[in-house]
Amino acid sequence: MCSMRRARRSVENELRRHGHARPRARTGPAVIRPAGDMAAPASRGSLRDLGEFRLIAALKRSFATPRPELIRGIGDDAAVIRWSADSHLLISTDLLTEQVHFDRHFASTYDIGYRGAVANLSDIAAMGGQPLYVLAALALPPSCSINDVRSLYRGMMAPCRKAGVALIGGDTSASRAGLHVTITILGRVEPNRVLTRNGARIGDILYVSGTLGDAYAGLRLLQASARSQSIPLIPPRFHQFLRARHLRPTARLALGRLLSTRQLASAAIDLSDGLSGDLGHLCRESRVGAEIDSTALPLSKPCRTLAAAWNQDPMDWALTGGEDYELLFTVPQDRQHRLERLARSRGEPITPIGRICSPRYGIRLKMPDGTTRNIAPTSYEHFRSSL
Amino acid sequence: MCSMRRARRSVENELRRHGHARPRARTGPAVIRPAGDMAAPASRGSLRDLGEFRLIAALKRSFATPRPELIRGIGDDAAVIRWSADSHLLISTDLLTEQVHFDRHFASTYDIGYRGAVANLSDIAAMGGQPLYVLAALALPPSCSINDVRSLYRGMMAPCRKAGVALIGGDTSASRAGLHVTITILGRVEPNRVLTRNGARIGDILYVSGTLGDAYAGLRLLQASARSQSIPLIPPRFHQFLRARHLRPTARLALGRLLSTRQLASAAIDLSDGLSGDLGHLCRESRVGAEIDSTALPLSKPCRTLAAAWNQDPMDWALTGGEDYELLFTVPQDRQHRLERLARSRGEPITPIGRICSPRYGIRLKMPDGTTRNIAPTSYEHFRSSL
């Protein structure tokens, strides 16, 4: 969720602009361009011209400082620091901004705190680590009551306590406009057990946990309700399931630990930007390509049902919906059998969805008819779309 | 600067409301009230009714979780975590909000980044630690250009690089309104060498580094210029000095290390809220009182000159101005001679300003005529004054 390279997908905004149009990934141009120099002509322009990913690449080039104890700095789900012989420190920070990452018309401050915490916990899960401590910095607008603030902390601490994470500090301030929440998480991981984005090798099997697109489907339902738009006739339990997947996502901490401690995965990332965007990050960092089998994408029945009712393709939601906080990871073929056995015995839902290919192959989606098409590594870029 | 108990003083706002009135500390009622329960009637009210310090006290009671490795959680300049046999980890997070902590009419994004970094570095200095890593989460409004963002990072990294601190991550997002900057800092300190707020003992000598009130004086000058108000006829180098003390403060890292490694201080805190507020925090945490000698307060000539030109008392600025980022610390009498000798040899400017008394004595200021008066432990509280 964090580390500077990561843009958070904000489907709220996108939908606000596009109504019920198909996710932007398919309609717009590819938004990730070769990183330019921030000092070049673009530096005199607007953030919209540069785009978030180029901004972050330029910041990384300008300001990242190598240090001997720094195992991974800017460029992964969390930074990794060598701290003692038996443990590395993991740290990640994450910003949630009103009207960009959440909408208080249908998300309570409890929901906002809860999702913010899960986004951070998910970063630690994607590194194979154990989360330990959390800090929160809140800028509170006049519209926030004491109960709102208490609810925000309660929401944040619900998944944290479940994961054994303690609140150790933070900062509070008034805000002239909008609620802003920055959560910082500290974790621990054993040396040589860190999962990173850059370890995928050609031939590895690509896996994903859980089901994809649910959080986006839930968001669409919440937005429709908030605007008193008609809701399709799908079973109430489907509504509940999808809303909960948006408002109460699950960080895959146990799965991350399994992949890390048993050395099952070669690379991992958490799905915050959506499969196409996060797979793009993983492939770029590992310098590989990938092929996804479209028929293998795990879609829940509620998600498929809602998509059908709205006459949309749930695969689009799975690819670009974002904020599922599932893990995307790669596994060498010779460890596949062991992984599947262990995951089954632990009740961790995982699905093989494709394989890692040569970088020349690019990132492609295999359709049911056997044809393939390129997947644009599309992620939501804040500055291009919301400024 | 951080840890949840700390409110940042925002003299900008205060002046916006009061014009050139005397700092609020002397005119308003004491703003720190006994902490109440957030679930009590106040919970249904507004943040303004509760006040920031009661909010934070209530959050601490509700959410702080003891853990065996946690040496200090919420309630000091930084949290302290036992991590390995030879080093504790220090961590602190700090939020800067537009129109609350800074004013872009006279502070560039470079200035904002610079001061934000110093505020964080100062937290590590106050704990006696060595700062190591920094993360930044930025919410960027449409009015920010690429150059603004680059300048912000440059400003932030200028004091960080000087202190050997590396940027290892962060998050960027669009903001619908206002620039919000959250900086998180990681540092290290040897076990048994941590400086905390709660170690002051009756009879200890109270010291402060540098001079006080300069940052506030500089702010007043900057505001007057931005509003095209008349500037008093004081030497241009005084203007420069005071502006720099506001825009380019210095974190007292070397002094903090000296106090910690040589075990000279019994307690320490950095001056972000102003002497009266931060001395209040230190006394409350140590359960002691204090007497300050008003004639001993270190005031720079530029500060005294400007105050005289505006017909104000510079002692008020020293007591309540805030954001000087100097260290306030207590030293047992038997270590006083050694401290003064070491500080002199290192070129660290320190001044004894009073002594620690019984808690019954309260916190009092000794006037030149020998009388004493209570110092209200006044700090700027965001929710009371700016919402």
Per-residue pLDDT at B76: 79
Q: Which residue does chain B place closest to A152, by CA atoms?
A: B59
Question: Rounded to an integer, what distance in angstroms lies between the CA atom of residue B201 and that of residue A163?
Answer: 39
Question: In B219-306, at which residue ranges do the beta strands (DSSP E only) sit?
Answer: 267-270, 289-293
Q: Do A174 and B46 touch (CB under 8 A)?
A: no
For the segment B164-189, the average pLDDT, to the nearest whole number, is 91
The per-residue pLDDT for range A285-338, each reduced to its tens digit, is: 999 999 999 999 999 999 999 999 999 999 999 999 888 999 999 999 999 999
Rounded to an integer, the average pLDDT of B142-171 is 92
Check A3 against B170: CB less than 8 A apart.
Answer: yes
Percent of chain B with pLDDT over 90: 63
- Chain B (91-150) residues lying within 8 Å, Cβ to Cβ, of chain A: 91-95, 97-101, 132-133, 135-140, 142, 144-147, 149-150
For residues B175 and A229, give the distance between their C-alpha atoms in angstroms, rounded to a whole number: 27
Q: How would you label A242-271 residue by residue, b for 16+ Cβ within 10 Å and e otherwise?
A: bbebbbbbbbbbebbbbbbeeebbbbbbbb
Cβ within 8 Å of residue A179, ≥6 positions away: A98, A104, A109, A112, A138, A139, A140, A141, A144
Between chains, do B65 and A184 touch, taking CB under 8 Å as contact? no
pLDDT, position B379: 55
Give residue A377's pLDDT. 62
Contact B89 A89 (CB under 8 A): yes
Q: Provide the pLDDT confidence category of residue A228 given band limits of 50, 70 and 90.
A: confident
Q: Which amino acid is at B13?
A: N
The confidence band for A229, taking pLDDT boundaries of 50, 70 and 90, is confident
Specify the higher pLDDT residue, B53 or A229. A229
Does residue B299 surpass a pLDDT of 90?
yes
Q: Is A358 on the interface with B (CB under 8 A)?
A: no
- Residue B277 pLDDT exceeds 50: yes
Residues 174-233 of A with CB under 8 A from B: 174-178, 180, 182, 184, 186
B237 or A6, higher pLDDT: B237
Would you give the DSSP letter of residue A98?
Answer: B
pLDDT of A61: 77
The answer for residues whose C-beta is within 8 angstroms of residue A298's C-beta and 6 or more apart is A208, A210, A211, A212, A318, A349, A351, A353
Query: Residue B164: which region, alpha, beta or left (left: phi > 0; alpha: psi -120 to 50)?
Result: left
**A17 vs chain B: nearest CA distance in angstroms?**
14
Q: Which of residues A80 and B232 earns the better pLDDT score? A: A80
- On chain B, the residues whose CB falls within 8 A of the CB of A175 are 97, 100, 178, 180
Nearest-by-Cβ selection for A178 from B50, B73, B176: B176
Alpha-carbon gap, residue A179 to B177, rounded angstroms: 10
Q: Which tens digit of pLDDT belongs to each residue from A251-266?
A: 999 999 999 999 999 9
Contacts B95 to A, Cβ<8 Å? 137-139, 171-173, 180, 182
Mutual angle of helices A301-309 and A214-226, in 10-degree steps: 50
**pLDDT at residue B237 in the model:** 96
Average pLDDT rounded to a whole number, residues A43-54:
65
Q: What is the pLDDT of residues A63-100, one digit of tens each?
A: 777 778 888 888 788 899 998 888 999 999 999 988 88
Per-residue pLDDT of B121-135, as tens digits, reads 999 999 999 999 999
Contacts of A151 in chain B (CB under 8 A): none
What's the pLDDT tens digit per position in B202-215? 999 999 999 999 99
What pLDDT is attached to residue B50? 67
Domains and CATH numbers, chain A: 205-379 (3.90.650.10)
Question: ipTM for the complex?
Answer: 0.82
Given this model, what pLDDT does residue A13 score? 33
The pLDDT tens digits for A156-213 are 999 999 999 999 988 888 888 889 999 999 999 999 999 999 999 999 999 999 999 9
The residue among A56, A63, A145, A273 with the most chain B CBs within 10 A of its CB, best to mutate, is: A63
Structure tokens at B43: 């919970």
Chain B touched by A157 (CB under 8 Å): yes
With contacts defined as CB-CB under 8 Å, which chain B residues touch A386? Answer: 174
Asked whether residue B17 carries a pLDDT value surpassing 50, the answer given is no
Cβ density class B320-349: b for 16+ within 10 Å, e for less:
bbbbbbbbbbbbbeebeeebbebbeeeebe
- The residues in A 267-296 lying below 8 A from B, measured between CB atoms, are none
Least confident window among A193-207, B35-49, B167-181, B335-349:
B35-49
Confidence class for position B321, pLDDT limits 50, 70, 90:
confident
Do the chains contact at B172 and A7, CB–CB below 8 Å?
yes
Average confidence score pLDDT of chain A: 84
A196: closest CA of chain B, how far (Å): 15
* CA angle centred on B185, ends B181 and B188, rounded to 5°: 175
Per-residue pLDDT tens over the stretch B244-269: 999 999 999 999 999 999 999 999 99
Query: What percent of chain B shows pLDDT beyond 70?
Result: 83
